[in-house]
Each structure stands twice: as structure tokens, then as C-alpha cells.
Amino acid sequence: MIDIRSLRTDFEATKAALARKKVDPADVDRAVALDGRLRDLATQRDELRAQVNTLSKQVGQARRDGDAATGDQLMADSRRLGDEESKLADEAAAVEADLRDLLLRIPNVPSDSAPDGDTDADNPVLRIQNYAPERFGDHQRIPHWEIGAALGILDLERAVKISGSMFSMFRGPGATLARALCQLALDRNADAFEEVRPPTLVTSATLTATGQLPKFADDAYHIERDDLWAVPTAEVPLTSLARDEILDEADLPTRLMAYTPCYRREAGSAGRDTRGLLRVHEFDKVEILAYTTPEQAPAMLDELVARAEGTIDALGLAYRVIEICVGDLGQSHHRSYDIEVYAPGCDMWLEVSSVSWFSDYQARRANIRYRPSEGKGTALVHTLNGSALAVPRVWAALVETYRRDDGSVVVPDALRPYFRGMERIEAR
């Protein structure tokens, strides 16, 4: 969540920055009012506590002096003030809960460097690689769901029979391809990132720490009996790995990576293209994540983009890198980039990676701090993460791009070490 102190000390600038994200100014004003009321209540409560303490001492003195009447009166006054203090404490708790709920819903302040804009149509394209429309032949203009069915490597019909709409199932070399993509992403980042296999069912506190709750509850799968949530991304457990901990600055940046299945309801996908693998409820993904100091964060953002981009480039796919404008930034995001691959069979640019810097927004929710090597006290870390590789859309773009005239699909060189000697996927 945002730092409430920024609203106290730099209200107009913070409000203006949030306005770039189309935050309702009334919410900002209400947060300031609640914060002011909470501080007033705290002051009144502290004053009452001081009076109660003074009366307690006076009661003791009166009784030592043998003045029972005065002691009884002072005791009655102390109980009355104690009741008032209790009411103030209850009101303060209610105001604090309202303030926290509001702050959990107010988005992160965007970076000054994030481009202006209202929707994804305003996102600037920074670069395009490996793309030339004329290089794609008619044999590559076949959608992946047709290629997958013809080769027997994508069985959407049985996936729907087993689990319902918007679930997918890979078979034979198609399953090998999905696994190979994940292993490639892990191997390419193993030089600097510690591999973690976290739980994929997490608590509400864990999901709240990254910003998915409370705002995006409808997009997540909730196991109500146990109050656990299926992770929408490995970002969720990895961010909370150091929750309520204090790290040493010497250990920063801390780099982590994880392969997990991911689960999303896609509640807002009505009217969108959901054919094939374009939008699914369950998918495999490799996530890369870092804790940094504020000074380390910009360079780490560049590193994560380069790593995600490098893997797509190694696969020989056409892709482009887009910077996300403030109007399209997510709830927790300070600055973000997307990588999109071109799928010639769908004739669409498909988002396959989002790389984001969250400043201290998530760390404040999760209470992740570090101890500076110089100076006193502690400070909040900055968190950053990105999709090293998300399987479905990369799988789709790959089988469309590498389809040959005879209907087979060539295995890209980067994936052949994981294919048990197979160089071409042919009809089964």
C-alpha cells in the first residue's frame, strides 16, 4: 500500500500522481480525513491514559493518608475516564480498520518516468524484433488449436470434459514442449536466481501482500473450507517468502525464481477471444523475482526485462516490447513493461510476459524490511518481478511459427536438449 506519510507531508504531489492512474480524488481525501481522525483519537486516548495514571497515584496517596472518601471519589473518576478511554480505543480501532481497507484499495503511485496514457492503446512500443509479415507463409497462418488437434498434441475437447471450459491439456510431444519451455526458462536464469518450489495454495494474508486481495478476489480461486487461495502466479508466494522479516543490505539484491502452475478465473474475459490457449484458467509459468534497495531497483527492472526478452529471442519468435502507460498500470505497479509475441496463425500479438517494479508498495503490505549497512533503523525493500516464461501463448506462437508445409512442427534449437532427440513434431 502507499505510504500514509506521503499524504501527510506531500499531499498535493501524491494526489496528483495518483490522479495519473485515474484514482478517485475523493478516496484520497477520505484517507487523509481518516488518518487525521485516527491521530486525533490517539492523542485523546493518550491524554486520558495520562489522567488515569495520575488518578491512580492520587488514589494510592489518599488511602495511605487515610482519606477513604477522597480515594473513593478519585477511584470513581478513574473508572469513568477508563470507560471513556475504552470507547476511544474502540472508535480508533474502527477508524484504523477503515483506513487500512481504503489504503489496500488505493493503487500504487506510478513512476514519474511511466508514460502518460489512458488505456492499453496508449502503450508505446519500444522495439520490435524478428518480425517481418512477409516471412510468414500460408502454412504458418493456421491457428494453434487446429495444428494441435491435427498433430494430436493439444486435446482441448477432453480437457473440457474433465474440467470445463477454458482448460487445456497437452499430450505427447505437446506436453514435452510445455515442460521444455519451463525448463529452458529455469536454466537460462539459474546463473543468478535461486530456484524455489513454493506451495501453490496460500493464505489470504499472502495474497493480500502482493495486492491481489481485496480488489481482485473475483479473479482468484478460493478454497473456502480451508481459507486458502490457488496462486495466480508464483509472484504471490515468492513475495511473501521474507514477509515480516528484516534482511541485511549485504544480501540485496535477492533473486528468486519458481516454476508453478497458475490459476485464474478470468472473470473479466467475457467477450474476449478465448479460443485455444489464448485465455485459460490453469497454466504453467516460470517467475523471476527480486528484493532490492530503492537504489538497486531501476537496474534490476532492466535486468528482468532483458532476461525475459532474451528467452523469447532465443526461441526465434517475433516479439515486441511495450512500456505500460499509467492508465493501464496495475493496482500494485510503479512501472511495467510487457513482452508480446506474434502468433501468425492467430494473426495476433499475445502478451507472454509482464515485468514490473512495485517500489515499496508490496513490501509495506508484507512488512519486508532491510537493515542498511550504514545508518540506523530499517527500511522497506523494493520488489520487482516478471514472467520468465508463461507456457500457453508461447506454446501457441511457437507451433504456429515453426509449422512446416507438411504440417509438422520443427523443434527450435533452444528446446532440443529437452526433447529426447526429437527434432520435429509430426502427426501421431
Annotated active-site positions, please? 264, 279, 351, 354, 393
Helix residue spans in 230-282 (DSSP H): 235-239
The sign of the dihedral angle between the CA atoms of 211, 215, 217, 218 is negative
Query: Order of strands, edge to edge, in the sheet holding 228-230?
Result: 201-203, 228-230, 221-223
Q: How many CA atoms lie within 13 A of 246 on its CB side?
A: 6
Q: Which amino acid is at 170?
A: F
Within 8 A by CB and 6+ apart from 346, the residues are: 143, 144, 276, 278, 396, 400
Distances in whole angstroms, Cα of residue 198 to Cα of each of 10, 201, 241, 390: 39, 9, 9, 17
| Cα three-residue angle 28-369-358, rounded to 5 degrees | 50
Distances in whole angstroms, Cα of residue 379 to Cα of each of 238, 293, 296, 371, 385: 19, 9, 14, 7, 20
Q: Which amino acid is at 156?
A: L
Within 8 A by CB and 6+ apart from 300, the residues are: 253, 290, 292, 357, 384
Question: Residue 328 corresponds to which cell in the numbers above?
Answer: 493501464
